[in-house]
Amino acid sequence: MSLNQKKLLTFGILLALCVISLGAYVRLSDAGLGCPDWPGCYGKLLGVPDSHIEVNEARTAFPHAPVEAAKAWKEMIHRYLAGTLGLVIAALAVSAVWPKRQAALAPRIFLVGLVLVQAALGMLTVTWLLKPVIVTMHLLGGMLILATLVGMRANAAPALVNTTTSTMKQAAWVVTALILMQIALGGWTSANYAAMACADYPLCQGQLMPADLDWSHAFVFNRELGQTSDGQMLSLQTLTAIHWTHRSFALLVLAACVAFALRMKHQDDTRPMGNLLLVAVVVQVLLGISNVWLQWPLFLAVLHNTGAAALLAVAVYTTVQLQRAKS
């Protein structure tokens, strides 16, 4: 891989982190429907309605959607940044074969496919009015794009590990899978606005495990926001079950990451990655706890999403480096 491609990959990783963080900010500041259409905003591809005439035209065209310029700009800036990331990924794909073949094409084609799917999910997020399963899949799509970019960059970097065991290689995959599962649970918690269901920690509503958790509707995916599959309002017990699952699974992820990181610290060439993974998972858990204690201030809530992306990036980079080592 050429130096320019490596630089482009690094830029793509940083841009993906920004897109994920900005997407979290849009969602958490209740601006996810700041634009009721896609890909434009009230029919405009550039900018949002701001003049008196444009606002009146937007109200006529979209009578169900109040025109709020501040929210619309948040949504459009997120789309512009995501579009820029798409162009970077397209450039990576083209540079693999032109002007001459100089890099593996398969991961780049996979990335382009992910971007197309992610764009479709972004459209459905708006047109299907924040349907929780679509919002969660949209978050996971962004995380998978980041993970793929990080994996490609790790594969192009100098090998950091000479030898390792097959057990360590398998453990790296398990840890990465657990982190992805926890991100999915976090996305489901956020998409259902269940973050405030437990306002204390380590207890939840004064109990380690509330006795009246409603599991029957907690993980039903084919339903609208705030509703059960039969159109009834989601109960607090359902939201609590979603939240409690996310925070409980976090303990499993914490234990797995800590055990894996401590094992890596036994070997000189894996110790730096072990230290980084340990710091990343501890910071992420502390951010989660702080959000509960402080009642989810916007800055900390966004940082919790960014921390999840950073933790996944560290896990993927470590996994790829370990797979390259001799057993």
| Active-site residue list | 75
Burial (CB < 10 A; 0-12, 13-18, 19+), residue 35, is buried
Which of 252, 109, 260, 267 is closest to 173 using CA atoms? 260
The SS3 call for residue 139 is: helix
Length of the chain measured in residues = 327
d(C-alpha 35, C-alpha 260), whole Å: 44
Strand partners, 233: 227
Rounded alpha-carbon distances, angstroms, from residue 251 to 111, 197, 212: 31, 18, 22
d(C-alpha 302, C-alpha 198), whole Å: 18
Q: Which two tokens stand for residue 64?
A: 């169900």
Rounded alpha-carbon distances, angstroms, from residue 120 to 39, 89, 124: 10, 16, 6
The helix (H) or strand (E) run that includes residue 320 is helix 298-324
Which residues are CB-neighbours of 127 under 8 A, at least 6 positions away?
37, 38
Q: Which two tokens stand for residue 173?
A: 């995959």
Q: What is the CA radius of gyration of the chain?
A: 21
d(C-alpha 304, C-alpha 307), whole Å: 5
Residue carrying the six token digits 């594969």: 155
Burial (CB < 10 A; 0-12, 13-18, 19+), residue 69, is middle
d(C-alpha 143, C-alpha 183), whole Å: 9
Residue pair 15/81 in contact (Cβ under 8 Å)? The answer is: yes
